[in-house]
Chains A and B, each alone.
Chain A
Amino acid sequence: MSPDILVKIWGATLDTLYMVAAAGLIGSLIGLPIGIFLATSGKGELFPAPTINRIVGLIVNAARSTPFIILVVAIIPFTRLITGTSIGTKAAIVPLTIATIPFVARLVEAAIREIDKGLIEAARAMGATPMQIVFKVLLAEARPALTMALTMTAVSLIGYSAMVGAVGGGGLGDLGIRYGYQRFMPDVMLVVVIVLIVLVQLVQSAGDGLARHFDRRSRKN
């Protein structure tokens, strides 16, 4: 393998990391509050707004059931509006972010719904405001599950990021297709796959470790 290809692989790895980090961060920042809203706005819950809850739920479902590759193409005008271009690594961040938001929202909702309702009742009995319950009880108690959710998001994003090569987004997936597949360089394909596996492993291990660190539910003595 020529040094030139190795440089390309390195560059593609950085591109992938950049896309995953940017889309993961922005998507989570927007998805987290939406997830909290979904988990707390049902009938008789902390911020009861059942109608809005249902509407947001429908939008989230619609976004989640759209195949990613179609989403990428469908929102090209929007992508161009935001980044000024529809091609390249930066442009790819837009559809990745859009796909991340509903994904994170549903995972966050599930993580919060897992929390024992008795804790919410206890906090209400202490005279906590709904906001205090969200921050002092729900987010604190869901921390291990939220960490796992964000880990899962990052892993999925690494997979999605390989698809944006199709619309000229950079990264490992793009490199693998262009060199490994179209130019018949199976060794490049192999290296790309190995790098992706290593990345996913690293992210997953880091997430698991962090979740374990936050989890105080099991007896430790």
Chain B
Amino acid sequence: MSVSAYKAPAPGDAAVIFDGVSKHFAASGKSGAFTALDTVSLSVGRGSITGIIGRSGAGKSTLIRLVNGLEKPTGGTVLVDGVDVGALDEAGLRALRRSVGMIFQHFNLLSSRTVFGNVALPLEIAGMDKHAIEKRVLPLLDLVGLADKHGRYPAELSGGQKQRIGIARALATEPKLLLSDEATSALDPETTQSILELLKRINAELGLTVLLITHEMEVVKAVTSDVAVIDHGRIVERGHTFDVFTHPRHETTRAMLSGLPGSKLPDAVSRALRPQAVAGDRAVVRLTFFGAAAERPLISQLIKSVGAEVNIIAGTIDEIGGRPYGSLVVAYGADAETAGRAERFFTENGLVTEVLGYVA
């Protein structure tokens, strides 16, 4: 199975286009001059959930803030639905911001307002009358599953509930684009999953484009259809999430992926691994399989065709961007005959393999 060539969305299909965008911070006080973004070009497909992943300090926060003009680029242009954000005056920016929702890592809810009041805030800011606000807010609270909490204050809610309020608030002005700034980073894994489910549902039901930044590969894997990897202010890899996960090309991507469960070898094995086979050794091989192959009884077929013992050392079967995907690390005799039979089996079945090393 080959990687489908990645085609960036055509300009007409893009909700956001970054075109050669740079952001330099001049030296001030203690901090020296610093380049947060270096000629970044990227388009975000309309209706997609696009993830931008990078380590902290990679420039992703700056990048997402360019979309609604919270930060201004020092070079290049940012287009949102064809509108050049950099060319807007303050009033134009405010109008744009009302059509772009944003959620935050620390929720940023007003502690002095009830749940209802928080969701109503962007509508009050937009000058909507009380009656219309009520009609808009209640269905939104329903959508995020917190209709019964409308009179509560944020301090009385859990983190997941607060983020749901944040989402309802971001959707209040009926935006076409939602920006998510590390929205699940302050949440536990279970709550993260439920928030991601909610984002997926909103994306599907409302046709909303979602641009999210995160440092968690799990988040990208669970919800995004497209991903860009950012490192030191540059986009180093870009593609469909499935392709990037199964065929990471850049070192940074590989390093970030190695943190995922199932992709790491047990310590005892990785310590014993050596690059050259000694007689009697077994080869340690990573098999990657996709789509239909992930559902076939490959292991039993492999054992039959190799005609020798096959150990399973590590493995995971998962779904990435909605497509089944498996990664197995197996060990079998490294002698020429066994290895030859195994290789033939892999080629016949279209499996991607990688020899990691040899163990005694």
Contact = CB atoms under 8 A, between A and B. Distances in A.
Interface of A: 116, 118-119, 121-129, 132, 136-137, 140-141, 143, 214, 216-221
A121 B173 CA distance: 17
Interface string B134-170: 0000000000000000000111100000000000010
Contacts of A136: 121, 124-125
Contact of B94 (A121, A127, A143, A219): A127
A125 B97 contact: yes
B112 A141 contact: yes
A118 B102 contact: no
Indicate the member of A116, A128, A221 with the most B CB atoms within 10 Å. A128
Interface string B300-336: 0000000000000000000000000000000000000
A44 B152 CA distance: 34
Contacts of A220: 153, 155-156
24 contacts: A119-B110, A121-B104, A122-B108, A124-B70, A124-B97, A126-B97, A126-B121, A126-B169, A126-B173, A127-B94, A127-B97, A127-B125, A127-B126, A128-B94, A128-B125, A136-B125, A140-B113, A143-B112, A216-B113, A216-B155, A217-B155, A218-B155, A219-B155, A220-B153
A121 B155 CA distance: 20
Q: From DSSP, what is the main secondary structure of chain A's interface residues?
A: helix
Contact of A140 (B95, B104, B110, B126): B110
B172 to A, nearest CB: 8
Contacts of B156: 219-221
Indicate the member of A121, A216, A221 with the most B CB atoms within 10 Å. A216
Nearest to A44: B28
B94 A118 contact: no
B68 interface: yes
B122 interface: yes
Interface of B: 68, 70, 93-98, 100, 102, 104, 106, 108, 110-113, 121-122, 124-126, 153-156, 169, 173, 179
Contact of A126 (B106, B111, B122, B155): B122
B70 A121 contact: yes
Contacts of A122: 102, 104, 108
Contact of A121 (B108, B113, B124, B154): B108
Given A217-B111, A219-B156, A123 B125 contact: yes
Contacts of A129: 94
Nearest to B126: A127
Nearest to A132: B125
A116 to B, nearest CB: 7
A125 B102 contact: yes
Contacts of B102: 122, 125
B111 A216 contact: yes
Contacts of A123: 121, 125
Indicate the member of B68, B126, B153, B169 with the most A CB atoms within 10 Å. B153
A127 to B, nearest CB: 4
Nearest to A133: B125
Contacts of B70: 121, 124-125
Contacts of A121: 70, 104, 108
Contacts of B68: 125
Given A121-B70, A127-B97, A214 B112 contact: yes
A116 B108 contact: yes
A188 to B, nearest CB: 46
Contacts of A137: 110
Contact of B112 (A116, A124, A216, A221): A216
Contact of A141 (B95, B98, B106, B111): B111
A132 B90 CA distance: 14
A140 B124 CA distance: 14
Nearest to B28: A43
A140 B70 CA distance: 23
Indicate the member of B97, B154, B169 with the most A CB atoms within 10 Å. B97
A34 to B, nearest CB: 23
A175 B22 CA distance: 71
B169 to A, nearest CB: 8
Contact of B98 (A126, A140, A218): A126
Contacts of B122: 126-127
Contacts of A141: 110-112
Indicate the member of A122, A136, A141, A221 with the most B CB atoms within 10 Å. A122
A140 B104 CA distance: 20
A136 B122 CA distance: 10
A143 B111 CA distance: 11
Nearest to B93: A127
Nearest to A216: B153
A221 to B, nearest CB: 5
Indicate the member of A127, A128, A132, A140 with the most B CB atoms within 10 Å. A127
Contacts of B100: 125
A137 B97 CA distance: 17
Contact of B125 (A119, A126, A216): A126
A169 B111 CA distance: 44
Contacts of A140: 110, 112-113
A136 B93 CA distance: 19
